[in-house]
Structure 1
């Protein structure tokens, strides 16, 4: 091993491995430390990767990476306990290279990405937890891993949403309940042909499906379903601050979601092969910590880089792009032999110029907008009752459609709908 590394990266998720890959390709001495037994062993992301950021770094990566399916079908449902109203969108534009997205299983995908970093020259040590950072004269200069002290010019913190290292540095305080959600997911095994038949997919194509309403018992959050090659990733995510108001536990929410009349036929005869739970960053721009210090950078989920705008949930593409920006800043610092905060602040500049900060700023009001309980209770009820009036025929005399619709609108309140609509548009 090198006596002193140019960079030690804590965490071998997509952010950590991409940073290691880029730095090693440029000839820097890089060590990646992963507390799991292998890269991806502790990652349970719902499972969707928007390809654009990784495509820039590893062109045509999907030809060799263990991706599951290319998403060509988007679905969004408002769901009550007994019904669901679904928007279903499919388009060839969803499959254009560089604008496409893939379902992934992180245990497989992260191992492949970590191997790419190793092939480029990075060293990977799994099964070791980094408890502390080495700090001398105010500069981070390495890590304490187990009983070993490992020195480096820079440390890149990529240890996930609950980053204790960033907290110990004073870059952020303890996570607040409204900043994170609890996610629970099952991977349900099904035959490849069964998945394609049930979701109307061609071979290699996939579906991404998001749900609001009853999956989280009307609390802030939602359900998700992603089709893999021979399995389905099915789960729920509920904001931690809202869980105390819920009559159900997260585990019960997931069980009831699986039993819903719209979901049960899709997973019929499936075998549950994995169950996992995880914290998810939710507050977007407002939870971003300090990102740069003397000899240290924070990337990926540890930096709070996640966007949830209801119809799209993004995290991995932001994590990968932040890793690229951090690696560029470290490469420049290496060229100058100066790893001070002032030099490494190139990372912040690159973030500000990129889609990461621009998108996070654009949607910074949306997490607050989503705290509106009507979105998860009254609106799903209103929409599904409207659908009942349109499609249920029982022989009683029909009423004018507008009259039927307005009676449901009045139950929510026309002014509430108008105000929520204006707030939603402004938040987006």
Structure 2
């Protein structure tokens, strides 16, 4: 246990709450909900004036974890559209290649994913925790940890006039760059600087009439489309996204902080460039800007996760770097919901057993290991390095687009070239060496197969 720089507190025989959850995002509300369901007294702290006030989000919610957390969620979740089209787009400055999948199966129960506004989603989740008995404490920032004489965490300091909150267990869901996890020393073993594993997401919400969205994207009813984009970020490592809501679009870019800093480019310029791309411009034409927002995203994956517990403390969601950035997948809310749910259960079980030490809270890590949360991150641990590599970001989208352009170009009276010739020509022109391609293919196969 690292030395504490926070005030020591005398042992509290009767703390203010059994559990204090810091952050009323998906992870925090899920943790508060499960702990309250188990009969524990719970305080759910939110620094904004209400849950969702300060959150930035693309975004798609994948609901399978909600089947367990909130049965019947399909009739309750504040859905914009059910995602029935899923597209992956590769961009160069002048080209675009899209793999587009759509299915009617995703437009009916049990559903696969839904677009939602974070302000509505977070409020709904927090209200479920309050209904279960949690106390929501908005406009409150946790400024540090409280410890007893043995160094065990016993609560949090706050910026409220009435002072600190003591608890048997603190669950830190305070987002990327978690100050509580850092103060507890849980990031001490993570290699490199945290900024090296962090991206900046910038997003615009663009208003368009519902009928225009449905005509442009080939949608009807509550069906929606999710487009994930590789390339189109002016050579800066990252990617983009475009999601349909009922009467608006969410469009944004996610940019590696080191790469963005080295470029000297402002993120809003990158987003403007993406919106002007020939493949994107027709989709957003005539839309009215309603909102611009920015948010840090932990994208380093499994290898950059902190320790997940200390005596009296658990960490979940973005605070624990539980965001999957794997190229074809950019997911975070489902991992936050799962981790929060397991954290709430583990805290309640440890309190019931009378042991809230790191050992007593070990059930949290075991539950995560046995679930999709850490299983996915562990299997795909090599992918963030592959996705953010120079070749994947800049060479491969051009290589694939060049091969497609050559394959579909009719150049009579010349005979049609074979794919092998097209591929070798494009690889040479894009500076892709076969040994690098084989190495990256091996890395990808180890992760995805």
Question: What TM-score, normalized by structure 1, do the two folds share?
Answer: 0.95
Question: Where does 1:200-239 land on structure 2 (aligned, <5 Å)?
Answer: 200-214=218-232, 216-239=233-256
Structure 1 residues 212 and 149 mapped into 2: Cα distance closer, same or farther (>3 Å)?
A: same
CA distance in 1: counterparts of 2:225 and 2:290, whole angstroms: 20
Question: Is 1:56 matched up with 2:74?
Answer: no
Q: Partner of 1:152 in structure 2?
A: 167
Structure 1 residues 258 and 125 mapped into 2: Cα distance closer, same or farther (>3 Å)?
A: same
Q: Partner of 1:314 in structure 2?
A: 331
Name structure 2 gaps, 5 residues minimum.
Answer: 1-13
- Structure 1 position 165, deviation (Å): 0.9
CA distance in 1: counterparts of 2:32 and 2:169, whole angstroms: 12
- Structure 1 position 303, deviation (Å): 0.7
- Structure 1 position 296, deviation (Å): 1.0
Structure 1 residues 34 and 361 mapped into 2: Cα distance closer, same or farther (>3 Å)?
A: same
Q: Give CA-to-partner distance per residue, 1:77-132, whole Å, 9 cap, x none.
A: 11011120111011234346456111111011101111111111111111111101
CA distance in 1: counterparts of 2:209 and 2:18, whole angstroms: 46
Contact 2:27 2:336 in 1 (8 A): yes
CA distance in 1: counterparts of 2:328 and 2:423, whole angstroms: 24
CA distance in 2: counterparts of 1:28 and 1:404, whole angstroms: 64
Q: Partner of 1:191 in structure 2?
A: 209
Name structure 1 gaps, 5 residues minimum.
Answer: none
Contact 2:407 2:417 in 1 (8 A): no
Aligned residues, how many?
426
Question: Where does 1:77-226 land on structure 2 (aligned, <5 Å)?
Answer: 77-95=89-107, 97-98=109-110, 100-137=112-149, 138-146=151-159, 147=161, 148-173=163-188, 175-214=193-232, 216-226=233-243
CA distance in 1: counterparts of 2:447 and 2:234, whole angstroms: 24
Q: Which moved more, 1:172-181 or 1:320-329?
A: 172-181
Q: Give CA-to-partner distance per residue, 1:136-180, whole Å, 9 cap, x none.
A: 121111111114111111111000011011111111149522211
CA distance in 2: counterparts of 1:310 and 1:351, whole angstroms: 23
TM superposition outliers: structure 1 runs of 4+ over 6 Å = none
- Structure 1 position 399, deviation (Å): 4.4
Q: Give CA-to-partner distance per residue, 1:324-367, whole Å, 9 cap, x none.
A: 11111112122223322221111111111111111111011111
CA distance in 2: counterparts of 1:25 and 1:114, whole angstroms: 13
Question: Where does 1:28-427 land on structure 2 (aligned, <5 Å)?
Answer: 28-95=40-107, 97-98=109-110, 100-137=112-149, 138-146=151-159, 147=161, 148-173=163-188, 175-214=193-232, 216-246=233-263, 248-393=265-410, 397-402=414-419, 403-411=421-429, 412-427=432-447
Q: Give CA-to-partner distance per residue, 1:351-410, whole Å, 9 cap, x none.
A: 111111111110111112223211121222222222332334466634423434432133
CA distance in 2: counterparts of 1:287 and 1:40, whole angstroms: 26
Question: Is 1:15 matched up with 2:27?
Answer: yes
Structure 1 residues 81 and 396 mapped into 2: Cα distance closer, same or farther (>3 Å)?
A: farther
CA distance in 2: counterparts of 1:16 and 1:127, whole angstroms: 15
Q: Which moved more, 1:170-179 or 1:16-25?
A: 170-179
Aligned-residue Cα RMSD (Å) equals 1.9
Contact 2:17 2:41 in 1 (8 A): yes
Q: Give CA-to-partner distance per residue, 1:180-224, whole Å, 9 cap, x none.
A: 11110001111112111111112111111011112x212321011
Contact 1:15 1:323 in 2 (8 A): yes
- Structure 1 position 230, deviation (Å): 1.1
- Structure 1 position 62, deviation (Å): 2.4
CA distance in 2: counterparts of 1:172 and 1:407, whole angstroms: 46
- 3-state SS in 1 of match to 2:39: coil
CA distance in 1: counterparts of 2:338 and 2:23, whole angstroms: 16
Contact 2:58 2:250 in 1 (8 A): yes
Question: What TM-score, normalized by structure 2, do the two folds share?
Answer: 0.90
Contact 2:89 2:98 in 1 (8 A): yes
